[in-house]
């Protein structure tokens, strides 16, 4: 259904377009149409929609048909804008969180129709070429929202602290599965049961199903999950209750994404769940102790994670909440890479950059991610161990890397584990810290000699290293760029010689 606000905006843009075509000011249009300048101004800003007789009067002034005036298609260079408004995508995004107001954007759209139209068309064309789906657009917007806020949200932290204060004040022990389960059942009237994947094999990869009945909320949990996985599921349900979020996913599989609010609330629920399971003061104490160590200790890192009974991804995301805010370590990134253990395909499936340096980022599906990088090495190591004896991990390793193209230096910590209950799938999550003054000041093991150094790139196809034993594909993109640069250099030499 087309939103009323969008209909008003389209009519306002059309009115302004026709008025400019006629070379009329608001006062002149007012005289010819009999409508006041202030009323015409409100129409153009998308605040009001005129009645039929007033539309007829405007159509007469512009010498166009009534149907042309009420059509939802904008003329000429504005057509791309109407396509955007009719798609409702722009309404699904909470523009206020980025400091935008849709009504204010109308003036910008109307004042520069050619430029804005070209910009919108470019976005649509890029989305088509890269097969961008609506949910990918939403996730990109969410990632930007996290990045501009350093992935720390005071209102969510406050909501969690309020819950902690109401259930014992200063939490001296980490909250456990049975405690959360009891709160859900007794306070929030949940019924928590299992569903058997043998009876519903299509739902093998689904972690939970939520059924919001009127009298009792029903939470069905995959019977193959371990206690750590169950802990986060019930923790997120508790988070939805604490933060009073209504528009939320009812299952863990991304079957459909109705709106950006849906994605945003899923993130808010996960954020609050991590904050409940990993209270701020506890985690800050553990991080401070870890960062003071002179040597990187992977076993100690895993012991911290295991204390909270959370997955590596949840653990690292909680770390990204706190390091920028309380330790001054802002130049960092998070990346998750998944691998089918039966293949050599490695895909970036999640990323977050709290820096202006985006050297490691998602690559095209056909590209081969750098095999020198610790995130990929760990996945290959995990796969080999699984073949030898059913090893389930997790395993961790650190690495200092320099990207050969950009020269950016990072200290990377990766953890790899199976993605149960998804069959034959492993994932590694990586935290990368730019090796700068802030990181050196706060982390004593940044120059640990036991941590390997490596030159890396993003993909084999873009890499100029000629002696790489781990190369999985020819450097076709680099070779193409080199040819283009050679042509440019030759042209410059020719110009100088003939000039």
Instruction: Give residue-wise pLDDT tens across range 34-56.
Output: 999 999 999 988 889 999 999 99
The whole-angstrom distance between residue 165's C-alpha and the CA centroid of its chain comes to: 31
Residue 250 neighbours by CB under 8 Å, 6+ apart: 209, 210, 211, 212
Residue 208's nearest CA partner among 241, 186, 237 is 237
Q: Which helix (H) or strand (E) holds 333?
A: strand 332-340
Measured distance CA(73)–CA(11) in Å, rounded: 9
Q: Which helix (H) or strand (E) holds 194?
A: strand 190-195
Least confident of 80-94, 140-154, 247-261: 80-94
Domain ranges for the chain, please list them.
Answer: 4-132, 150-277, 281-461
Q: Is the pLDDT of residue 323 over 60?
A: yes
Q: Is the pLDDT of residue 464 over 60?
A: yes
Q: What is the phi/psi pair of residue 399, to 5°?
A: -160, 140
Pairing of strands 409-418, 208-212: unpaired
Pairing of strands 346-354, 332-340: antiparallel
Task: Report pLDDT for 170.
Answer: 47
User: Is domain 4-132 in CATH 1.10.260.40, yes or no?
Assistant: yes
- Written as six digits, the tokens of 72 are 């939802």
User: Helix, strand or coil for residue 334?
Assistant: strand
- Written as six digits, the tokens of 294 are 């002179």
User: Helix, strand or coil for residue 160?
Assistant: helix
CB neighbourhood size of 335 (10 A): 24
94 pLDDT band, cuts 50/70/90, is low
Number of H helices, E strands in the chain: 20, 9
CB 57 within 8 A of CB 33: yes
- Please give the DSSP secondary-structure letter assigned to residue 77: G
- How distant, in Å, are the alpha carbons of 225, 309, 362 from that of 338? 19, 21, 12
Measured distance CA(388)–CA(384) in Å, rounded: 6
Between 394 and 478, the higher pLDDT residue:
394
Measured distance CA(466)–CA(468) in Å, rounded: 6
Q: Is the pLDDT of residue 100 over 80?
A: no
Residue 338's nearest CA partner among 412, 431, 226, 416 is 416
Please, which residues bridge with residue 192 across strands?
219
Task: Return the axis-axis angle of helices 4-22 and 26-33, rounded to nearest 10°.
Answer: 100
CB neighbourhood size of 261 (10 A): 17
- Written as six digits, the tokens of 194 are 């299992």
Average pLDDT over residues 151-166: 89
Least confident of 129-133, 241-245, 450-454: 129-133
Please, which residues bridge with residue 71 across strands?
none
Measured distance CA(387)–CA(341) in Å, rounded: 9
Task: Report pLDDT for 107.
Answer: 62
Task: Return the axis-axis angle of helices 154-166 and 260-277, rounded to nearest 10°.
Answer: 50
Q: Is the pLDDT of residue 83 over 50?
A: yes
The half-sphere exposure of 126 on its side-chain side, counting CA atoms within 13 A, is 8
> Does the N-terminal peptide bond of residue 222 adopt cis geometry, omega within 30 degrees of 0?
no
Please, which residues bridge with residue 354 across strands?
332
Per-position DSSP letters for 255-269, written without gaps between them: S----HHHHHHHHHH
Pairing of strands 208-212, 217-222: antiparallel
Task: Report pLDDT for 108.
Answer: 65
CB 382 within 8 A of CB 393: yes
Instruction: Give residue-wise pLDDT tens across range 341-393.
Output: 778 888 888 888 886 655 655 555 567 888 888 999 999 999 888 888 767 77
Percent of the chain with pLDDT over 70: 83
Task: Give the residue carrying structure tokens 């012991």.
Answer: 303
Q: Is the pLDDT of residue 316 over 90?
A: yes
For the chain, the average pLDDT equals 84
Average pLDDT over residues 430-442: 94
Q: Roughly how many angstroms between the first and final C-alpha of the chain, as a whole number?
A: 63
Question: How many Å is the Cα radius of gyration of the chain?
Answer: 28
Among 256-260, 375-379, 441-445, the range with the most confident prediction by mean pLDDT is 441-445
* CB contact burial 441-456 (16+ within 10 A = b; e otherwise): ebbebbebeebeeeeb
Q: Is the pLDDT of residue 421 over 90?
A: no
Task: Report pLDDT for 364.
Answer: 55
Residue 480's nearest CA partner among 467, 494, 460, 461 is 461
Neighbour order of strands in the sheet with 332-340: 346-354, 332-340, 425-434, 409-418, 395-403, 452-456
Percent of the chain with pLDDT over 90: 42
Task: Report pLDDT for 113.
Answer: 58
User: Helix, strand or coil for residue 366?
Assistant: coil
Task: Report pLDDT for 171.
Answer: 47
191 pLDDT band, cuts 50/70/90, is very high
């Amino acid at each position: 259904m087309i939103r009323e606000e969008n209909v008003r905006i389209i009519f306002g843009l059309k009115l302004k377009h026709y008025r400019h075509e006629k070379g009329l000011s608001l006062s002149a249009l007012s005289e010819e149409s009999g409508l006041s300048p202030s009323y015409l101004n409100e129409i153009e800003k998308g605040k009001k929609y005129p009645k039929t007789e007033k539309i007829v009067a405007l159509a007469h002034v512009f010498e166009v048909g009534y149907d042309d005036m009420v059509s939802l298609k904008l003329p000429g260079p504005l057509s791309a804008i109407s396509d955007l408004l009719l798609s409702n995508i722009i309404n699904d995004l909470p523009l206020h969180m980025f400091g935008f107001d849709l009504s204010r954007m109308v003036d910008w759209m109307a004042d520069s129709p050619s430029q804005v139209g070209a910009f919108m068309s470019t976005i649509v064309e890029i989305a088509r070429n890269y097969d961008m789906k609506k949910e990918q657009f939403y996730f990109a917007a969410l990632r930007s929202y996290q990045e501009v806020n350093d992935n720390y949200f005071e209102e969510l932290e406050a909501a969690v602290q309020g819950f902690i204060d109401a259930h014992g004040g200063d939490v001296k022990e980490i909250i456990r599965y049975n405690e959360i389960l009891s709160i859900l059942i007794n306070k929030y009237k949940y019924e928590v049961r299992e569903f058997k994947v043998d009876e519903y094999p299509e739902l093998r990869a689904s972690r939970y199903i939520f059924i919001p009945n009127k009298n009792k909320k029903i939470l069905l949990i995959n019977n193959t999950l371990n206690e750590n996985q169950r802990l986060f599921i019930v923790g997120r349900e508790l988070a939805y209750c604490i933060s009073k979020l209504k528009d939320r996913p009812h299952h863990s599989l991304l079957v459909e994404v109705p709106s950006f609010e849906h994605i945003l609330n899923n993130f808010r629920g996960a954020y609050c769940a991590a904050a409940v399971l990993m209270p701020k003061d506890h985690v800050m104490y553990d991080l401070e102790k870890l960062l003071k160590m002179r040597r990187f200790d992977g076993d100690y890192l895993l012991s911290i994670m295991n204390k909270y009974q959370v997955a590596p991804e949840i653990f690292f995301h909680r770390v990204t909440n706190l390091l920028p805010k309380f330790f001054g370590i802002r130049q960092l990134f998070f990346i998750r890479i998944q691998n089918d253990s039966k293949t050599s395909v490695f895909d970036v499936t999640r990323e977050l950059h709290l820096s202006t340096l985006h050297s490691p980022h998602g690559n095209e599906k056909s590209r081969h991610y750098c095999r020198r990088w610790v995130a990929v090495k760990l996945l290959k190591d995990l796969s080999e161990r699984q073949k030898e004896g059913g090893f389930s991990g997790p395993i961790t390793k650190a690495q200092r890397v320099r990207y050969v193209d950009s020269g950016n230096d990072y200290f990377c910590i990766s953890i790899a584990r199976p993605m149960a209950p998804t069959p034959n799938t492993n994932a590694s999550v990586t935290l990368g810290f730019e090796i700068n003054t802030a990181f050196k000041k706060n982390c004593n093991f940044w120059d640990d000699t036991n941590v390997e150094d490596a030159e890396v790139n993003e993909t084999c196809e873009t890499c100029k290293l000629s002696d790489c034993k781990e190369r999985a594909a020819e450097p076709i993109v680099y070779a193409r760029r080199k040819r283009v640069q050679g042509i440019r250099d030759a042209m410059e030499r020719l110009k100088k010689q003939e000039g």
